[in-house]
Amino acid sequence: MPTAISLRGLSKHFGDVKAVDDLDLDIADGEFFSMLGPSGSGKTTVLRLIAGFEQPTAGRIELGGKDVTGRPPFARDVNTVFQDYAIFPHMSVRQNVEYGLRVKRVPRADRRARAEEALATVRLEGYGDRRPHQLSGGQRQRVALARALVNRPQVLLLDEPLGALDLKLRRQMQIELKQIQRDVGITFVFVTHDQEEALTMSDRIAVFNEGRIEQLATPVELYEQPASSFVAGFVGTSNLLEGPVARDVVGSDGQFVVRPEKVSMLAPADAPAEDGEHCVARGTVREVVYLGAATHSVVDLDAGATLTVAHQNTDRSIDAALERRGQQVLLVWSRDSLVPLGGNDAVPAGSTTGRQPSSPEENTP
Amino acid sequence: MATPAVTRSPRGRRNRPRGAERPGRGTLLLLTPPMLWLGVAYLGALGALFITSLWQQNDFTGAIERVWTLDNFRDLFTIDVYRTITFRTIAIAALVTVVDALLAFPIALYMAKVASPRLQRLLVISVLMPLWASYLVKAYAWRGMLSENGLIAWLGAPFGIDTPGYGLPATTIVLAYLWLPYMILPIYAGLERLPDSLWEASADLGGGAWTTLRRVVLPMAFPAIVAGSIFTFSLSLGDYIAVRIVGGTSQLLGNVVYDNVGAANNLPFAAAVATIPVVVMVIYLAAARRTGALENL
């Protein structure tokens, strides 16, 4: 697949702060690409560098194979949907959407037709004569989207465009955005700090931390195989096992992650037979959090760490779960769902309960 | 007993939206002196001015006769020289406003969007600084510079430029100089409020610097420019000192008022002349209101 955007050795320093630090990245044509990270991780700076609002300290930016480093924003075939939408308040919705075409001297009739088409794409037919202040937040967001799409750019950059919307509208727009992206076939580069949003929409996600990409993967890989404790902690709820706890429970040194929904909680009496396929840990339920569709139990392991266990509320077992607070339980999970982090070896099979570690790494510091 | 009592409880009152809150007695007491000042000193004086303009002066004794008459206004409208002076004054005020807007916009733009925060503060101070000096000193300084062997003649000599001398051009220059800060500050405030993302959005959609300025920045700064023009226009309309110092023999409405108060001692006619700028300003403000400029003051 051809490359839409290619970043090479890209850096942006603000004084002593390395907002973006020697970044290499290729984004494929037609991809829905998300840049995920906490605030200050550099994801927005990368977007602004691609748009041309900032000039890189070092490195190269290519759009569709052409070097555009140093070109001003108006000479790049990308359009941006801004976090605050940046709708021109003194223009009508139609004038806003037509702005890009008007500046490029597209004839009036053509302009009008394309603006109507773009408004239809974002389901705002008939809103052309409205003034921006008459629109709701969600509608303004759509105008911003139409205003960018009408130019048919190679790449659409979206800077946390759903951040200001309420949860319900946000979920709806997530689905719509994905739909629009499929329909128009434009590469979307989406910046967000919301992991759920990134997982929902993206083909691939780059997780940013301190100006660097921590992991670049598909949503499934990112969730199932986080490469570092940072990614594991940022994407979804993670249960981290490390140091003595890992040695004790897993039977090996290193860092391991197990997702809450992969852990089952049993009464101490129901201990499974030791088969070498499962990890078993004993603990006490500290807290039970009812979340509607699911229940989370926070369990303090006897070995030292704290694990969260998710349980779908598919039956009425919630009453039983709530009564477990303060009780001794047994946590069991398959070794397959245990993810080793940051370059340690594969999970050793061997000890079943983890209580009598037998792996050779046992004594390595 | 319970339900109505609850709605009237102090707690319910505190929960009312801010705008809906009725001022208490304390607030009224605090507001009375300043409101009285506004009512009596400003609006009252304006009313007195208008009433005086409907009286007349005895030609022989010079005493004011409190007889209702429209003679003063009839004179104003029928005697050519007053009409000429009125239009001249409005034209000068408009010209001063245009000159100030043209000078102030780039300065304000630089202050608001280009200068570093440190330089920004320095520039705001330097714009305000001339306001600390006495008006008279500044006007006389210009008189010196505009004189036949003054600074302007001396500086312009190598380029074949001579001083405009004393007259209406000099008056325009001096008024434009005097009121420039009143134009810069509202435009600066207006531009500063403009989010950077609007500039970026315009650039992002293909607009170069010039297009962005013309299609986004200027239209959005327009109410602020109108707000500044209210100051420059109204201050120019009523000015009588600058024109006396650098205006040569030219007359503006302010001089006419001054001469009728002083030399001619015809207060009713002076009051009638003074109503002209007031009426012009009322019309101007009504027009300005439509642009949303009054929210920018």
Structure confidence at residue A284 (pLDDT): 92
3-state secondary structure of A82: coil
Best mean pLDDT range from A249-253, A287-291, B154-158, B215-219? B215-219
Q: Is A99 on the interface with B (CB under 8 A)?
A: yes
- Within 10 Å of residue A238's Cβ, how many Cβ atoms? 22
Q: Which of A51, A60, A50, A5 is nearest to A28 (CA)?
A: A5
Amino acid letter at B140? Y
DSSP for A333-356, please give it.
EEGGG-EE-TTPPPPPP--SSSSS
**Interface membership of B206 toward A (CB under 8 Å):** yes
Which residues are CB-neighbours of B247 under 8 A, at least 6 positions away? B166, B167, B168, B170, B171, B255
Is the ipTM beyond the 0.85 threshold? no
Terminal CA-to-CA distance of chain B, rounded, Å? Answer: 50
Q: Which of residues 211 through 250 in chain B touch A, CB cutoff 8 A?
A: 211, 215-216, 219-220
Query: Cβ of B206 and A103 within 8 Å?
Result: yes
Q: To which H or E segment does residue B286 belong?
A: helix B267-290
Interchain CB contacts (distance < 8 Å): A and B: 62
What is the model's pLDDT at position B58?
77
pLDDT of residue A204: 96
User: What's the maximum distance between 2 C-alpha atoms anywhere in chain B?
Assistant: 93
The amino acid present at B296, given as its one-letter code, is: N
Selecting from B198, B200, B215 the residue whose C-beta is nearest the C-beta of A53 gives: B200
Token pair belonging to A174? 């997530």
Across the interface, whether the CB atoms of B220 and A51 are under 8 A apart is answered: no
Using the beta-carbon criterion (under 8 Å), do A103 and B220 form an inter-chain contact? Answer: no
pLDDT above 80 (res B265): no
pLDDT the model gives residue B13: 46
Residue A142 contacts residue A122 (beta carbons within 8 Å): yes
Question: What pLDDT was estimated at residue B20?
Answer: 53
| Cα–Cα distance list, A167 to A138, A172, A312 (Å) | 11, 9, 22
| Distance from C-alpha of A146 to C-alpha of A95, rounded to nearest angstrom | 11
Q: How far is it, in rounded angstroms, from Cα A55 to Cα B203?
A: 14
Taking residues B11-39, report their average pLDDT: 71
Tell me what pLDDT residue A26 has: 95
Cβ–Cβ under 8 Å, residues A204 and A218: yes
Tokens representing B200 are 């970026």
Mean pLDDT of residues grouped by 10 in chain A (365 residues)? 90 92 94 94 94 94 92 93 93 95 94 94 91 91 94 93 87 90 92 92 94 94 90 86 84 87 86 80 90 88 89 72 83 88 48 35 37
pLDDT at position B22, please? 67
Architecture of domain B80-296: Orthogonal Bundle (1.10)
**Where exactly does CATH 3.40.50.300 map onto chain A?**
3-229
Tens digit of pLDDT for each residue in B34-48? 888 888 888 898 898
Which residue type sits at A301?
L
Asked whether residue B52 carries a pLDDT value surpassing 70, the answer given is yes
Q: Does the domain formed by A3-229 have CATH 3.40.50.2300?
A: no
State how far the alpha carbon of A159 is from the alpha carbons of A17, A85, A197, A289, B223, in Å: 21, 9, 13, 33, 30
Cβ contact B205–A100 (<8 Å): yes
**In terms of CATH architecture, what is A237-353?**
Beta Barrel (2.40)
A55 has a chain B CB within 8 A of its CB: no
CB contact under 8 A, A79 and B195: no
Residue A343 pLDDT: 52
Q: Name which of A248, A229, A226, A231 is nearest A337 in CA terms.
A: A226
Q: Helices marked H in B134-266 — which ranges?
A: 135-146, 151-156, 168-193, 196-204, 209-212, 218-238, 241-246, 253-261
**Angle (CA) B174 B179 B184, round 5°:** 130
CA B146 vs. chain centroid, Å, equals: 25
Look up residue B172 and give its amino acid.
T
Q: Given pLDDT bands bounded at 50, 70 and 90, which one contains residue B297?
A: low
Element (H, E) at A325: none
Q: Using an 8 Å Cβ cutoff, are A11 and A212 in contact?
A: no
Picking from A45, A48, A78, A88 by the largest number of B CB atoms within 10 A of its own CB, the best residue to mutate is A88
- Please say whether the beta carbons of B226 and B288 come within 8 A: yes
Helices A93-103 + A137-149 axis angle, to 10: 20
Contact A151/B200, CB-based, under 8 Å?
no
> How far is Cα of residue B170 from the mean position of the Cα atoms in its chain?
19
Q: What pLDDT score does A352 carry? A: 34
**Angle of helix B80-109 versus helix B218-238 axis, rounded to 10:** 140
Measured between CB atoms, does A28 come within 8 Å of chain B? no
Q: Mean pLDDT in chain B?
A: 86
The answer to whether the beta carbons of residues A119 and A43 sit under 8 Å apart is no
The rounded distance, in Å, linking the Cα atoms of B177 and B189 is: 20
Nearest-CA distance A78 → chain B (Å): 7
Q: Which residue has the higher pLDDT, B78 or A352?
A: B78
pLDDT higher than 50, residue B9: no
Domain with CATH 2.40.50.100 in chain A: 237-353
Residue B86 has pLDDT above 60, yes or no: yes
pTM of the complete model beyond 0.95? no
For residue B273, the distance in angstroms to the closest alpha carbon of chain A comes to 40
CA distance B114 to chain A (A): 15
The H or E element spanning position A203 is: none
The Cα of A286 is separated from the nearest Cα of chain B by a number of Å equal to 40
What does the alpha-carbon distance between residue B238 and residue B256 come to, in Å, rounded to a whole number? Answer: 11
Domain boundaries, chain B: 25-65, 80-296
Task: Kindly identify which residue of chain B lies nearest to residue A84, measuring between CA atoms.
Answer: B197
- R_g over Cα of chain A: 25
Q: Is A89 on the interface with B (CB under 8 A)?
A: yes
Closest CB to B197 among A79, A82, A151: A82
With CB atoms and an 8 Å threshold, state whether B197 touches A86.
yes
Structure tokens at B159: 């380029």
